[in-house]
Amino acid sequence: MANLDPDREKVALFLEDLQVGQRFVSGTHRIDEGQIRAFAEQFDPQPFHLDPEAAKTTLFEGVVASGWHTAAITMRLLVGGGLPIAGGIVGAGGEIAWPSPVRPGAVLHVESEILELRPSRSRPNRGVATVRSETRDQFGEVVQVLVAKLVVPRKMKP
């Protein structure tokens, strides 16, 4: 398997290594207008993501990032060490909310907390971790809340 991030591999956590209440903090990512426009042109071409002038007349009153862009950056921060789970971050789904907009210049990071851990009944080599990940900007404002169910491997018995 490609070793994409040696540091992450070193601290890769299995289901048995996790505890309810355990917290993780990611690195940061600065978003700018160019990134917002590039993502929007490909996936969410609406005026409030693309055009500063047109965006002024929308309910956002200026350019904001697509919520899916915020979600994608959040994933990048989690994969880049923000949530060091063995075997990678594999989500089955979850709940997502965007309580406040992400504007150009925002510096984002992700704070995650383990909410629940459940071994699989049918598959002894894995389980499910429910993780709440808050994406915050440089002012501490929460711009995304993701409560995700992740597939986490268990240590193989000797």
d(CA 67, CA 79): 18
Q: How many Å apart are CA 126 and CA 66, to the nearest integer?
A: 33
Q: Which is nearer to a second copy, 22 or 58 (CB)?
A: 58
Shortest Å distance, C-beta 16 to a second copy = 18
Closer to a second copy by Cβ: residue 11 or 21? 11
Q: Which is nearer to a second copy, 67 or 104 (CB)?
A: 67
Closest distance of CB 136 from a second copy, Å: 16
φ/ψ (deg, to 5) at 131: -125, 130
Distance (Å, whole) CA 82 – CA 35: 21
Nearest distance from residue 10's CB to a second copy, in Å? 17
Q: How far apart are CA 30 and CA 37, in angstroms?
A: 14
- For the chain, count helices (H), then strands (E): 5, 5
By the criterion CB under 8 A, which residues form the site for a second copy? Answer: 1-2, 4, 39, 42-48, 50-51, 54, 57-59, 66-68, 71-73, 75-76, 79-80, 87-98, 145, 151
Q: For a second copy, give the closer residue by CB, 19 or 137.
A: 137
